[in-house]
Amino acid sequence: MSKIRFQALAETLNRKPIAIEENSRRSDLFGKNVFNESTMRQYLTKESYIGVMSAIEHGTKIDRKIADQVSSAMKEWALSKGVTHYTHWFQPLTGATAEKHDAFFETIGGGMAIEKFGGNQLVQQEPDASSFPNGGIRNTFEARGYTAWDPTSPAFIYGTTLCVPTIFVSYTGEALDYKTPLLRALRAVDDAATAICKYFDKNVKKVTSSLGWEQEYFLIDKALASSRPDITLTGRTLLGHSPAKGQQLDDHYFGSIPTRALNFMRDLETECMLLGIPVKTRHNEVAPNQFELAPIYEESNLAVDHNSLLMDVMNKVASRHNFKVLLHEKPFAGVNGSGKHNNWSLTTDTGVNLLSPGKTPMSNLQFLVFFVNTIKAVYENEELLRAGIASASNDHRLGANEAPPAIISVFIGEQLTKVLQELEGVSTGKLSPEEKTDLKLNVVGKIPDVLLDNTDRNRTSPFAFTGNKFEFRAVGSTANCANPMTVLNTIVAKQLKDFKNKIDVLIENDGLKKDEAIFNVLREYIKASKNILFEGNGYGAEWEKEAKKRGLSNNKTTPEALKAKISKKAISLFEEMEVMNKIEVEARYEIEIEEYTLRIQIEARVLGDIAGNHVIPTAVKYQNMLIENVRGLKDIFGNNYQKHAKEQLKLIEKISEHIEAIHSKVDEMVEARKKANKIEDIEAKAHAYCFDVKPYFDEIRYHCDKLELMIDDELWPLTKYRELLFTR
Ligand code: ADP
Ligand code: MG
């Protein structure tokens, strides 16, 4: 084994698990470092408490005086916990979280200093924003951006810093972050859904969108991970032969969690508890060293913040435990990748989950309205939904027979399919009394029983109904959930708005009763959106053919998928729902397409490097050893040597072939890259990287992996898959 590998492995095997002491109950720790409702009650005056709560619940503005009171209370609370700094915490379009810490400390002259945090500092900041991606927005407009307090996500303490969740916008008001459009989409879905709920219950004043994400990840020992330049620089392995044992035995999934990993998880969970992230579930995933973490679902904005925060906390806690967390969608070829299922539902302020069938035919009708409208929304906007989860890393996963395909379809289960079929048969216009009774008793009335045994879950579906929520499974593990959640909530909002308009017309102009109108429109929608429903195997090649016939999109790569974001239809949708204007939509498109190019560019460079200065020199070294050996054999056996050196000679030849292939492929890749780099148009450039540069990755890898199998293990410099995946 090579020196680097030996050292990394020795370090790994010598590690003792860091013991975790847990003296406190989780519920006692929960939210301890969050400026939540109970802390606010304790620290705020009644007036400012009411002000903040009303901002949270009804989106009212917080005036200067209240902001001053809140900031001073936050400061007092934070100082009592040993905090020294504060930061506006936001999610720029890099996908990571951003923070710039300022001390509370301020001098007041005369050699004296105080701790200060005023309303001004709480409400608004102007970070130097020029290094964040902006898709040209700030070039066209004002050079600076600002962050503004989002009171709907509570401030929290991380380390010794008070973090205030904020939005990040340009001076002209364009969103430069993930949160701003999400908040707008959540307002849009609230408005549209509340208006429909009023058909059923006049008391409903607000509808909240909920999100429960399930974060998958790999946990690799730090020493092993850092011995690999590809993992360090790209978050994934660019080469490496599959180990003799992979995940064939399925012995990892739900198996007992290794002690070191478990201690990491417990530590992570404690941090999460303090930060108010309600994590609940942990288990091993399918691949070796792969795990999953899931919280109790929350209001979508908060859930998005919590997931972003979690990804950051995971990295920090992992480092304490000498691990590296790999959030990449496909860190290892040949073993399962990681995703982040987004479980989504809508709930009224009267406590009704609109995607959960009720106890009465009327509440079931309400369920059907939201159920069918969601399906229709997905049908109408499948391509946009696919665009919302597109990234260079997620391209490895979608359609790779382990994750949902790049085709978006909806799974609803056998029983609900039957319910929709029956509803489809409803006659047009006014209904006869018999038909109404039949619908109430036999179709709508039967739903709760039906759902009880609807446990049949199709894991191959990208968008599945699972009893009381939809599960968007195609989201990647590195994603900021705000992106897909903005799309989903916007398309559902638009669909609900159109639905309401139709119903109102039928009631007012055609004199239909409310439930008649609803049945009529549902029937029409079910007919119209049938093509999106698919219960079969989403991994199969058959489905690709069938989906094509149905006219569903199948965009396999990010450059192709992203295009849907800037279609006329998408822009007018976002504008109509006041989620993003044209400039914002186009800016995001630019950022994402450029990010794609950059990622592939970095991978191409790293691969060229490793192939050129790790793999080839090692191959040459080994080949020289073989040549030396053949020479020796010649000395001993004279002309007869070939008989004894047969295998060595074959190997020498093969190694030469692989070296040659790697050389020429790397050269060709570099040429393709140079050509791509000259392209000005960002879209054409991304296409060049996708279709002209990226295809070399697999070819180069093929030859490198073959060499890995031939070359003396002592010499091979790169930590192997079996070491990365099976060392605990
Ligand atoms: P799995 O999909 O692994 O079988 P579950 O379906 O039990 O797991 O739950 C997965 C996630 O779904 C959890 O984060 C959970 O909090 C969330 N979830 C459960 N109910 C809802 C709901 N009504 N709305 C949104 N998320 C939900
Ligand atoms: Mg799930």
**What spacing in Å lies between the alpha carbon of 457 and ligand 2's midpoint?**
10
Ligand nearest to the CA of 296: 1
Nearest-ligand number for the alpha carbon of 469: 1
Per-residue pLDDT tens digits for 354-381:
999 888 888 899 999 999 999 999 999 9
Q: What is the CATH class of 595-726?
A: mainly alpha
Ligand nearest to the CA of 306: 1
Atom 14 in ligand 1: which residue has the minimum CA distance? Answer: 212
Residue 305: its H or E element: helix 300-320
Ligand 1 site-directed mutation target among 283, 291, 469, 475, most atoms within 8 Å of CB: 469
Q: What is the CATH topology of the domain spanning 31-177?
A: Ubiquitin-like (UB roll) (3.10.20)
Q: Band of the pLDDT at 525, cuts 50, 70, 90?
A: very high
Q: Is the pLDDT of residue 636 over 70?
A: yes
* Exposure string for 364-379, b = 16+ CB within 10 A, e = fewer: bbbbbbbbbbbbbbbb
CA of 411 to the centre of ligand 2 (A): 13
Q: Which atom of ligand 1 is nearest to the CA of 344?
A: 25
Q: What is the pLDDT of residue 15?
A: 86
The predicted model gives 75-86 an average pLDDT of: 94
On the question of a common fold for 31-177 and 186-580, the answer reads no
Name, in order, each residue with C-beta under 8 angstroms of 702's C-beta and a sequence gap of 6 or more: none
pLDDT of residue 128: 65
The tens digit of pLDDT for each residue in 654-679 reads 999 999 999 999 999 999 999 999 99
pLDDT at position 24 is 78
Give the DSSP letter of residue 90.
Answer: B
From 253, 343, 459, give the residue whose CB has the most ligand 1 atoms within 8 Å, as the site to mutate. 343
Among the bound ligands, the one closest to the CA of 297: 1
Q: Which protein residue has the closest C-alpha to ligand 1 atom 6? A: 466
Pocket test for ligand 1, best of 291, 297, 374 (most atoms within 8 A of CB): 297
C-alpha span between 469 and 296 (Å, rounded): 13
Closest ligand (CA of 283): 1
**Structure-model confidence comparison of residues 15 and 349, the more confident one:** 349
Span from the CA of 149 to the centroid of ligand 1 (angstroms): 29
- pLDDT tens track for 469-481: 999 999 999 999 9
Q: What is the pLDDT of residue 471?
A: 95
Sorting pLDDT into bands at 50, 70 and 90, what band is 142?
A: very low
| Ligand that lies nearest to the alpha carbon of residue 292, given by its number in the listed order | 1
Write the CB contacts of 610 (distance below 8 Å, at least 6 apart in sequence).
229, 230, 238, 239, 704, 718
> Rounded mean pLDDT of the chain?
91
Q: Which pLDDT band, with edges at 50, 70 and 90, does 250 fall under?
A: low
> Residue 181 — very low, low, confident or very high, per pLDDT cuts 50/70/90?
very high
Q: Which atom of ligand 1 is nearest to the CA of 343?
A: 26
**Tens-digit pLDDT profile for residues 31-50:** 999 999 999 999 999 999 99
Q: In the structure, what pLDDT confidence band is assigned to residue 345 with cuts at 50, 70 and 90?
A: very high
Counting beta carbons within 10 angstroms of the beta carbon of residue 401, is it exposed (0 to 12), middle (13 to 18) or buried (19 or more)?
exposed
Q: Which residue has the higher pLDDT, 418 or 143?
A: 418
- Under the banding of pLDDT at 50, 70 and 90, the label for residue 140 is very low
Q: Is the pLDDT of residue 241 over 90?
A: yes
Q: How confident is the model over 256-282, as pLDDT tens digits?
A: 667 888 899 999 999 999 999 999 988
Ligand 1 centre distance from Cα of residue 268 (Å): 20
Q: What is the pLDDT of residue 141?
A: 44
- CA-nearest residue for atom 4, ligand 1, is 466
Ligand 1: nearest atom to the Cα of 214: 14
How do residues 93-135 score in pLDDT, each as one tens digit? Answer: 877 788 888 888 888 888 888 888 988 889 888 876 666 777 7
Does residue 340 surpass a pLDDT of 60?
yes
Question: 343 C-alpha to center of ligand 1: Å?
Answer: 6
Centroid of ligand 1 to alpha carbon of 190 (angstroms): 21
| 139: pLDDT strictly greater than 60 | no
Tell whether the model's pLDDT for residue 202 goes beyond 80. yes
Alpha carbon dihedral 324, 328, 334, 340, in 10-degree steps, equals: 110
Q: Which atom of ligand 1 is nearest the CA belonging to 295?
A: 14
Q: Give me ligand 2 centre to Cα 343, in Å.
A: 7
Give me the mean pLDDT over the 619-644 stretch: 95
In this structure, are residues 525 and 420 in contact, taking their beta carbons and an 8 Å threshold?
Answer: no
* Ligand 2 centroid from CA 461, angstroms: 11
Domain ranges of the chain: 31-177, 186-580, 595-726
CA 459 – ligand 1 centroid, Å: 14
Q: Are 395 and 689 in contact (CB under 8 A)?
A: no
Do 266 and 282 meet the contact criterion of CB atoms below 8 Å apart? no
So what's the pLDDT on residue 300? 98
| CA of 457, closest atom in ligand 1 | 4
User: Residue 624 above 90 pLDDT?
Assistant: yes
What is the mean predicted confidence (pLDDT) over 148-173? 92
Give the distance between the most distant pair of CA atoms in the chain: 105
Indicate which ligand has the atom closest to the C-alpha of 461: 2
pLDDT at residue 144, as a whole number: 66
Atom of ligand 1 nearest to the CA of 297: 16
Strands 410-411 and 463-465: parallel
CATH 3.40.640.10 correct for 186-580: no
Which residue is closest in CA terms to ligand 1's atom 11? 212
Assign 459 a pLDDT band (cuts: 50, 70, 90): confident
Residue nearest to atom 17 of ligand 1 (CA): 212
What is the per-residue pLDDT for 258? 79
With cut-offs at 50, 70 and 90, classify the pLDDT of residue 432.
confident
Q: Which residues line ligand 1 (CB under 6 A)?
A: 210, 212, 214, 294-297, 343-345, 353, 466, 468-469
Please give the pLDDT value at position 425. 86
How far are the Cα atoms of 196, 556, 676, 684, 701 from residue 691, in angstroms, in the given order? 46, 12, 10, 10, 17
What's residue 131's pLDDT? Answer: 67
How far does the centroid of ligand 2 lie from the alpha carbon of residue 495, in Å? 25
Residue 130: what pLDDT? 66
Q: How much distance in Å is there from the Cα of 341 to the middle of ligand 2?
A: 6
Of the chain, the percentage scoring pLDDT greater than 70 comes to: 95
